[in-house]
Amino acid sequence: MDRVAIIVSQDGLETAFKALNVAMAAVAMDADVHVFCTFGGLSLLRRSLDYPVPASLEPFRDQLAALPGPEALRAMALESGVQFIACQMTMDLMGITADDLIEGIPVAGAATFLSEAQGSTTVTF
């Protein structure tokens, strides 16, 4: 596995954990990882990740508390070289600015992501 492209289009704690877990697993396998965040997935790039625990995970609240949270996982992903891309069209549509996101995140369109993802194994959340 040389390259992994991940598309994150949904919001929420479960989506954040899934996307970041797959990204970190791919990095551990020496893959070049690109994560394209669009629509609800842009929440993964916001400065503060304050996701409520959904009802489906409520029985596991204690176990969740023992895990690194989404902000810590995102920081690990960034430190490990995961490349995040914020979708420009969605940001324009939703009135989100680069100032709403963590520093250093490139903003680009789908064509830019597709050129980065070409030849990748692709995962969508």
Q: Rounded distance, CA 40 to CA 49, Å? A: 13
Q: What is the pTM of this model?
A: 0.93
Q: Does 19 score more than 70 pLDDT?
A: yes
Q: Where are the domains of the chain?
A: 3-124
pLDDT tens sequence across 62-71: 999 999 999 9
Cα separation, 36 vs 16, in Å, equals 13
As a whole-number percent, the residues of the chain with pLDDT over 70 amount to 98
Output the pLDDT for position 117.
Answer: 87
pLDDT number for residue 75: 97
CATH topology of domain 3-124: Hypothetical Protein Ychn; Chain: A, (3.40.1260)
